[in-house]
Structure 1
């Protein structure tokens, strides 16, 4: 059995979908059979992952998620005809015999039936085809890793940006919808509109704002940053600035509509109530967090399976500076990924 009540409750909810599946799954036939058997295999894989150590854990976690991807395709309203059928992984990890900083991930081209590609398309998440995406960038796309870098010290990281809603139900009607958005030390220290805009270029959902709270009354005054030392997911030196969006039709200027508008900017992440802006990794579309998990777990599973000696070095708690971070992420994945899977199944159906 697995580790805690949250894990069990998540799987009870996922199991309940097998007798009452989303409409697209259908009442009988191969699509229905694939949906139910894929969820069963995914559950068994995740339960197995909870019973093994870090040396082996990436394997059942990745294959559990991969099987869950088949259930997502079966449940998706957008998967017409036989496009719910998945073929192969659709993703490749390379440079596995070197340091973690050298590991890369590539994907098949758009339109291919590989699992990673097709599920990415269903979630409006990018693929990068023949481009080698660094594992470090995919690692940084997971909120849990904000305080645990794999990149070199001092590197500017494109992390998911926490954005807290500043709209209150008691506010009167007005057109501004506001968010407090987190920024890294490089942007906070620069203190300029230009630095803030440049950093946000890789966050598609964070576009469209038209003003911000300034440090002074001058039109040229920079953003007012509030530094948070070791707050939440973020390491010391990160801080937030307040950005405003002007709400236009079909939204009204009521507080409820302003909140609803801000919710449209988010990527769903498990049961988190906060907005999160995810990076696009240079592709023009933000990566869905489930696909970031998928890519990271694929790389780790390939290391564990095909480069066991190198993997043993990476996870050596006595020798590797990354071992604790990897160990922690894999432990969290046992709970976080099923919760995210449940949310995604509801979203696509």
Structure 2
């Protein structure tokens, strides 16, 4: 992983002499792009030299600086809109003193504000939950929007969890003009596969995901008329092949089907995923913003409640200590790749 980490940063460094067009054409944006990426790299590299007591601070502020580079590279942000001011997300009053991690809640700035989280969320079509307008969002919900957290639960209720689902990108590339697009979908939890009514359990599980443009259930199963044909894998998780139906008038063929699937999935580390819609408004978390929200909460705990954070990472007394160590380690490895993919998304 260290080699991958270095290669990703080499790729990001290589963009600094020739930034995405919006940053390349404007001197102020270019200066911010170059300086912010340098700071992001230094902070994330430094996170690998300290333990979990301090690494959330370095990881979050590294991501925050990378966010300034993303804003500078985004062609959709015109005029002064690329300039960010403040976090754009905050913990609700008293939330950091919650005895549990899963229950810590956050609120965000409203749309149109210059806070980093709000401005980038709007840019990436990711949800906001402004104070006074929407319910605060619990850490466990954004935590489960990170694919690496699938086996690192904060919640004690497995039935309530909704984790990201991956689709198989190679399957639909071989399809012809048929309007059906079969794709394996995984990982599904065992309670869905063990349910007496598998169809009802699958529909309930998928109810918080955006599933395309065609009706409430834009897919068919090969097992229509019988129980779902789940395939169980090691560890209790499973998959099922879902036959997506193209909307009327949508182009077929490889390009058309790829475009349709990309319209309701998100790219993540080279794969395609369904992300939960955590606010119930049909807008899914962008992976960059999911990492942002999680690292923000962990960094605020470490900064403002160091004794509580120390208790959470105490391996001899905390049930979450090793989980936190693992996700902080994965953040250092994965977040730079998410940043690189997001730069391609907004600067292309």
- TM-score, normalised with respect to structure 2: 0.90
Alpha-carbon distance in structure 1 between the residues aligned to 2:17 and 2:321 = 41
Change (3 A) 1:287 1:171: closer
Counterpart of 1:212 (choices 220, 224, 229) is 220
Residue 268 of structure 1 is matched in structure 2 by 267
1:280 paired to 2:284: no
Change (3 A) 1:207 1:310: farther
1:135 paired to 2:143: no
Structure 2 residue runs without a partner (length 5+) = none
Alpha-carbon distance in structure 1 between the residues aligned to 2:76 and 2:346 = 8
Alpha-carbon distance in structure 2 between the residues aligned to 1:93 and 1:297 = 12
Residue 245 of structure 2 is matched in structure 1 by 246
Q: Which moved more, 1:204-213 or 1:40-49?
A: 204-213
Alpha-carbon distance in structure 2 between the residues aligned to 1:86 and 1:169 = 39
The Cα shift of 1:162 comes to 1.6
Residue 52 of structure 1 is matched in structure 2 by 50
3-state SS in 1 of match to 2:228? coil
Alpha-carbon distance in structure 2 between the residues aligned to 1:277 and 1:81 = 33
Counterpart of 1:13 (choices 11, 14, 19) is 11
The Cα shift of 1:215 comes to 4.1
Q: Which moved more, 1:146-155 or 1:130-139?
A: 146-155
Q: Indicate if the aligned counterparts of 1:159 and 1:279 stay in contact, CA closer than 8 A.
A: yes
Structure 1 residue runs without a partner (length 5+) = 231-235
3-state SS in 2 of match to 1:92? strand
Residue 233 of structure 1 is matched in structure 2 by none
The Cα shift of 1:257 comes to 4.2
Alpha-carbon distance in structure 2 between the residues aligned to 1:296 and 1:21 = 28
Counterpart of 1:84 (choices 79, 82, 85) is 82
Matched pairs, number: 336
Change (3 A) 1:153 1:171: closer
Q: Map 1:1-349; keep pairs closer than 5 Å.
A: 4-94=2-92, 95-98=95-98, 99-130=100-131, 131-165=135-169, 167=171, 172-182=176-186, 183-190=188-195, 191-205=197-211, 208=214, 210-215=218-223, 218=225, 221-230=226-235, 236=236, 238-247=237-246, 251-255=250-254, 257-270=256-269, 272-273=270-271, 275-284=272-281, 285-349=283-347
Q: Indicate if the aligned counterparts of 1:161 and 1:276 stay in contact, CA closer than 8 A.
A: yes
Q: State the superposition RMSD in angstroms.
A: 2.1
Q: Which moved more, 1:295-304 or 1:260-269?
A: 260-269
Change (3 A) 1:201 1:93: same
3-state SS in 1 of match to 2:34? helix
Q: Indicate if the aligned counterparts of 1:156 and 1:186 stay in contact, CA closer than 8 A.
A: no
